[in-house]
Amino acid sequence: MSASKISRWAASTASITALSALASAALVLTSASTAVAAPPKLVSITIKAVVDEVIDTAGVLCADVEPGDTITGTYVYNTRTRDHNDADHVADYSYKTTPYGIKLRVNGMAVRTDPAKVDFLVELVNDDPVVGYDAYSIASYSNLPFRCGSPVDFIGWSLADLSGTALSTTALGKKGPRIAAFNSTFELIVEGWTKGFYRIRAHVTSARA
């Protein structure tokens, strides 16, 4: 694979039209098995976010969430995971087992990667040769529903820097992304569509190991 796997939901962001054109079909193609060298080097990143928008025109979201609410949580990856992308400027780190994945509390209500069917990706893009951007993305494609019943089909967070200065490598770091280094954000998204569409959109205010 040579294309970046930037999330499909980022394609609607007007300020990055050129970027999304390169990556529109990408993240959903992640199925590669993970090869992890020993000993494991686990990294847990704690994030905090504030909800900006809740879209639920079909009335399928049972969780009580509204703009201004807080999202907190952690995601876990391994710095020794091998890159499964053949492109020099893109690295895809895929995880299929626990303890990897993401756990969130959305206004106190838990959502998380399904520990029985982990499908979690961390992707880094450094100096894209066409547009020149850097990007940092995480995505979870297999998740447990809200306790009240609403399915969670996707959890993702992505950052972009159109100047190409935020990252100097596609290697996984021990501290997570420096939010201030990215000048364009794709925000944190929790969404479902199997029983009707809803989306919770938030901006991350901190990410720390």
What is the per-residue pLDDT across 129-183, written as a single tens digit (0 to 9) for each?
A: 998 999 999 999 999 999 999 999 999 999 999 999 999 999 999 998 999 999 8
**Host H or E run for residue 14:** none
Establish if 179 belongs to a structural domain.
yes
Q: What is the pLDDT of residue 55?
A: 97
Q: Kind of pairing, strands 70-78 and 109-113?
A: unpaired
Which band of pLDDT confidence, cut at 50, 70 and 90, is reported for residue 40? low
SS3 state at 8 = helix
pLDDT tens digits for 112-127?
Answer: 999 999 999 999 999 9
Render pLDDT for 53-112 as a digit per residue (tens, 0 to 9).
999 999 999 999 999 999 999 999 999 999 999 999 999 999 999 999 999 999 999 999
Question: 55 in a domain, yes or no?
Answer: yes
- On whether the pTM is more than 0.85, the answer is no
Q: For position 14, what pLDDT does the model report?
A: 30
Residue 2 lies in a domain: no
Question: What is the domain range of residue 110?
Answer: 8-32+40-208
Buried b / exposed e over 30-51, threshold 16 CB at 10 Å, is: beeebebeeeeeebebebebeb
Is residue 191 in some structural domain? yes
Alpha-carbon gap, residue 148 to 198, rounded angstroms: 15
- The answer as to whether 46 is a domain residue is yes
Quickly count: other Cβ atoms within 10 Å of residue 173's Cβ. Answer: 16
In a domain, 131, yes or no: yes
The pLDDT, as a whole number, for residue 70 is 98
pLDDT digits (tens, 9 = 90+) for 193-206: 999 999 999 999 99
Residue-wise pLDDT tens digits, 77-89: 999 999 999 999 9
pLDDT at 21: 32
Mean pLDDT, the chain, rounded, equals 85
Q: How many domains does the chain have?
A: 1
